[in-house]
């Protein structure tokens, strides 16, 4: 029976050793709690930003022109000389534009062609050459057109100019029509050239200066 005694002794010794070692080993749950309590060791890592999208090639912008106009037959020579003085070369060209007019300044129909011709002579004596004689049959026969305008403001300026030259019979009226006039196109202007055209515009109060797409070369 001695062997049974030794077996039980060995089992008791093994159980005692297991209990001893179990108390000495760290508790996994306790480690988790300690890790959670060490707030000074916790840091937040920002998410990695997504890579930027591949650049898309921009479509080339069309050529830009400055359009200065429009001018009737009387003002065109003066405007032509003014823009030629800037020496812009082949970058500027003259073009024809269709203009929709809503107002005109005119002298009402006179009694006969002789009266109309006599009035035209008086206008020339006052230095006024920008006019058109209306000889066609109809409501406006023997009237004299002094200018057509897209805006009432332009017509008022023209009327004031005529009154200042002593043309008391001039009037403003509405007259919707399309006419062809001349304008100047400057291709790809620099800032300095744009400023030069803007200065020219001040000498031609009825003209406009605007950016437009350049026509094909």
Helix (H, G, I), strand (E, B) or coil at 69: strand
70 within domain boundaries = yes
Quick one: pLDDT at residue 205? 76
Asked whether the beta carbons of 145 and 134 are under 8 A apart, the reply is: yes
160 within domain boundaries = yes
Q: Using one digit for the tens of pLDDT, what is the confidence trace for 146-158?
A: 988 878 888 898 9
User: Tokens in use for 182?
Assistant: 């001349």
Helix (H, G, I), strand (E, B) or coil at 103: strand
Q: Using one digit for the tens of pLDDT, what is the confidence trace for 46-72?
A: 445 555 554 443 333 447 888 998 888
Interacting residues of 200 by C-beta distance below 8 A, sequence separation 6+: 68, 79, 82, 83, 86
114 within domain boundaries = yes
- Tokens 């100019």, located at residue: 161
Quick one: pLDDT at residue 71? 86
CA–CA gap between residue 114 and residue 170 (Å, rounded): 18
Q: What is the DSSP string of 127-186?
A: T----EE--SSSTTTT-EEEEEESSHHHHHHHHHHHHHTT-TT-EEEEEEEEEEEEEEEE
Whether the pTM exceeds 0.75: the reply is no
29 within domain boundaries = no
Range of the domain at 136: 64-213
119 within domain boundaries = yes
Confidence of residue 13 (pLDDT cuts 50, 70, 90): low
Alpha-helix runs per DSSP H in the chain: 2-24, 28-37, 76-84, 113-125, 152-164, 191-202
172 within domain boundaries = yes
69 within domain boundaries = yes
Asked whether the beta carbons of 151 and 103 are under 8 A apart, the reply is: yes
Interacting residues of 112 by C-beta distance below 8 A, sequence separation 6+: 142
Look at the chain and report how many structural domains it folds into: 1
Region 129-139: what's the mean pLDDT? 90
Q: What is the mean pLDDT of the chain?
A: 77
Choice among 3-7, 80-84, 185-189, 208-212 with the minimum mean pLDDT = 3-7
Whether the pLDDT of residue 125 is over 70: the answer is yes
24 within domain boundaries = no
Quick one: pLDDT at residue 32? 44
């Amino acid at each position: 029976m001695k062997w049974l005694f030794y077996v039980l002794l060995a089992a008791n010794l093994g159980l005692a050793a297991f209990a001893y070692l179990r108390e000495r080993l760290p508790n996994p749950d306790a480690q988790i709690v300690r890790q959670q309590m060490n707030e000074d060791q916790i840091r937040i890592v920002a998410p990695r930003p997504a890579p930027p999208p591949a650049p898309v090639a921009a479509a080339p912008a069309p050529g830009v022109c400055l359009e200065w106009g429009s001018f009737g037959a009387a003002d065109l020579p003066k405007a032509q000389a003014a823009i030629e003085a800037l020496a812009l070369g082949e970058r500027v060209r003259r073009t024809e534009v269709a203009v929709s007019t809503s107002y005109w300044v005119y002298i009402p129909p006179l009694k006969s062609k002789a009266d109309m011709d006599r009035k035209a002579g008086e206008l020339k004596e006052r230095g006024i050459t920008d006019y058109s004689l209306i000889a066609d049959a109809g409501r406006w026969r023997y009237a004299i057109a002094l200018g057509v305008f897209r805006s009432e403001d332009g017509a008022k300026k023209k009327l004031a100019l005529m009154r200042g030259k002593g043309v008391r019979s001039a009037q403003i009226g509405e007259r919707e029509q399309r006419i062809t006039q001349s304008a100047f196109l400057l291709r790809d202007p620099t800032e300095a050239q744009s400023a030069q055209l803007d200065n020219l515009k001040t000498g031609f109060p009825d003209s406009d200066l605007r950016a437009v797409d350049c026509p094909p070369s």
